Amino acid sequence: MNKTIFLVGILFGILAVLLGAFGAHGLENLVDADAIQTWETGVTYQMYHALLLLVLANVNVIPESHKKWIFYCILAGIILFSFSIYFLATNTLTSFDFKTIGFVTPIGGLFLILAWALLGFRYWKCFK
């Protein structure tokens, strides 16, 4: 499981760099400044949580079974939060109104919060 978590962290890190570069150079003439800032928020949160996956894979005091749930929360959080933000930031470029699926962004945020809470709780339980 640690190998999977680490590799997914690397994948999301690479994607964050690519998407950040795209936002800075590819979107600048296509969307307004607010949309660029929104895009950057998605990239920032994705990178933070990619790094969290790298850390999680190397925390040896938390049992694999508990790491799995933290991993799934981070995975769901990145997909629902960051990727919905990417769609919302580029909403003006498509005929589909991504604002109709905007409700998934806070759900993704809740998954990210839950991941951090589970990590803290499981780590605390290891030393109790």
**Per-residue model confidence as pLDDT tens digits over 6-52:** 999 999 999 999 999 998 888 888 888 887 898 899 999 999 999 99
Instruction: Give the total number of structural domains in the chain.
Output: 1
* pLDDT at 93 (0 to 100): 81
* pLDDT at 69 (0 to 100): 95
**Per-residue model confidence as pLDDT tens digits over 44-94:** 999 999 999 999 999 988 888 899 999 999 999 999 999 999 988 888 887
pLDDT greater than 80 at residue 109: yes
Q: Provide the percentage of residues in the chain whose pLDDT is more than 90.
A: 61
The secondary structure of the chain in percent helix, strand, coil, rounded to multiples of 5, reads 85, 0, 15
Q: 35, 27 in Cβ contact below 8 A? A: yes
* Maximum alpha-carbon separation in the chain: 54
Position 126 confidence tier, pLDDT thresholds 50, 70, 90: confident
Element (H, E) at 9: helix 2-21
Residue 63, SS3?
A: coil
Which token pair is 37?
């800032």
Cβ of 78: how many Cβ atoms within 10 Å? 27
Q: 118, 68 in Cβ contact below 8 A? A: no
* pLDDT at 19 (0 to 100): 94
Domain that holds residue 117: 2-126
CA-CA distance, 78 to 83, in Å (whole number)?
A: 7
